Amino acid sequence: MRELATHLQAPGTDALPVDPASLYPEPDGFLGRRAKAQRAKLVAGIEGVLRTALAPGETIRYVARGCRFFLFEYALGGAPAHVHNLTALVLTDRRLLLVQLDWRGRAGDIKNQVPLTAIRGAGRSLSGWRIRLADGSSLKFVSIRAADRKRLEALLPTADGPKAAGPSLQHLCPACLGVTPGPVGATATCPSPTCRIPFRDPEKAARLSTWVPGLGDLYLRHHLFGALEFLGSMAMLGLGLALLADALANPEAERLGVAAAVLVLLIVVPRAIDRRLTRHMGRKGLVPLALAPAPGAQARNLPSFPRWSPLLFAAGIAIAGGLLALTAGDLRHDGAVREASRLAAQGRFDDALARWNALEAAGGVDEARRMQFVLALMDAGDLADADQLRGELDGTPVDAGLVARLEAAVAREQAAITDYNEGIGALVKGDEATAWPRLDRAFEYLRGVKRPHLAVNRAELHAHLATQLLAEPLADGDVAAAPRWLDGAAGAPAAELAIVKAAYHSARGEADAARAALASADVQGLSLDFQLLALEARARLATSDAARAEVRAAAKALPRDQLSEEEAPRLDALLGEAE
CATH of the domain at 20: 2.30.29.30
Q: Model confidence at 322, in pLDDT bands (50, 70, 90)?
A: confident
Distance of CA 310 to the CA centre of its chain: 29
Same domain membership, residue 232 and residue 167: no
What's the mean per-residue pLDDT of the chain? Answer: 86
Determine the pLDDT at residue 7.
45
Per-residue pLDDT of 444-484, as tens digits, reads 999 998 888 888 899 989 988 888 888 888 888 888 888 88
Q: Last residue of some domain: 311, 333, 360?
A: 311
Q: What is the DSSP letter of 93?
A: S
Residue 117 lies in a domain: yes
Residue 389 lies in a domain: no
Residue 207 has pLDDT above 90, yes or no: yes
Q: Tell me the average pLDDT across 351-362.
A: 90
Angle between helices 223-249 and 253-263 (to 10 degrees): 170
Residue 360 lies in a domain: no
Same domain membership, residue 158 and residue 218: no
Greatest mean pLDDT among 170-174, 328-332, 568-572: 170-174
Same domain membership, residue 212 and residue 140: no
Per-residue pLDDT of 174-194, as tens digits, reads 999 999 999 999 999 999 888
- In this prediction the pTM is 0.61
Q: Last residue of some domain: 130, 152, 172?
A: 172
Residue 239 has pLDDT above 90, yes or no: no
Q: Model confidence at 6, in pLDDT bands (50, 70, 90)?
A: very low
Per-residue pLDDT of 31-51, as tens digits, reads 888 999 999 999 999 999 999
Same domain membership, residue 132 and residue 241: no
Q: Who has greater pLDDT, 31 or 204?
A: 204
Q: Tell me the average pLDDT across 102-116.
A: 92
Compute and round to an integer the Cα radius of gyration of the chain: 43
Determine the pLDDT at residue 250.
61
Question: Do residues 352 and 377 touch, judged by C-beta distance below 8 A?
Answer: yes
Same domain membership, residue 206 and residue 150: no
Residue 346 lies in a domain: no
Residue 384 lies in a domain: no
Same domain membership, residue 206 and residue 166: no
Question: Do residues 454 and 420 touch, judged by C-beta distance below 8 A?
Answer: yes
Residue 529 lies in a domain: yes
Q: Who has greater pLDDT, 74 or 94?
A: 94
Tell me how far apart the alpha carbons of residues 576 and 579 are, in angstroms, rounded to a whole number: 5
> First CA to last CA across the chain, in angstroms?
122
Same domain membership, residue 156 and residue 31: yes
**CA distances, 387 to each of 207, 393, 406, 413 (Å):** 57, 10, 12, 10
Q: Tell me the average pLDDT across 203-224.
A: 91
Tell me how far apart the alpha carbons of residues 284 and 272 are, in angstroms, rounded to a whole number: 19
Contacts of 209 (CB under 8 A, 6+ apart): 215, 216, 217, 271, 274, 275, 277, 278
Q: Tell me the average pLDDT across 93-103.
A: 94
Q: Tell me the average pLDDT across 1-9.
A: 46
Residue 318 lies in a domain: no
Sheet holding 95-101, edge to edge: 119-125, 128-133, 138-142, 60-68, 86-92, 95-101, 107-115, 170-172, 179-180
Contacts of 453 (CB under 8 A, 6+ apart): 527, 529
233: containing domain: 202-311
Same domain membership, residue 129 and residue 49: yes
Same domain membership, residue 210 and residue 144: no
Which H or E element spans position 97?
A: strand 95-101
Same domain membership, residue 53 and residue 6: yes
Per-residue pLDDT of 262-310, as tens digits, reads 888 888 888 898 899 999 999 999 999 887 665 544 445 667 788 888 8
Q: Last residue of some domain: 262, 287, 311?
A: 311
Give the total number of structural domains in the chain. 3
Per-residue pLDDT of 165-175, as tens digits, reads 889 999 999 99
Same domain membership, residue 208 and residue 150: no
Residue 366 lies in a domain: no
Q: Model confidence at 254, in pLDDT bands (50, 70, 90)?
A: low
Among candidates 97, 12, 11, 13, which has minimal Cα distance to 54? 97
Same domain membership, residue 207 and residue 168: no
Question: Do residues 270 and 239 touch, judged by C-beta distance below 8 A?
Answer: no
**CA distances, 66 to each of 81, 139, 361, 442 (Å):** 13, 11, 63, 74
Residue by residue, DSSP assigns 253-305 as HHHHHHHHHHHIIIIIHHHHHHHHHHHHHHTSS--BS-SS--TTSPPPPPPSS
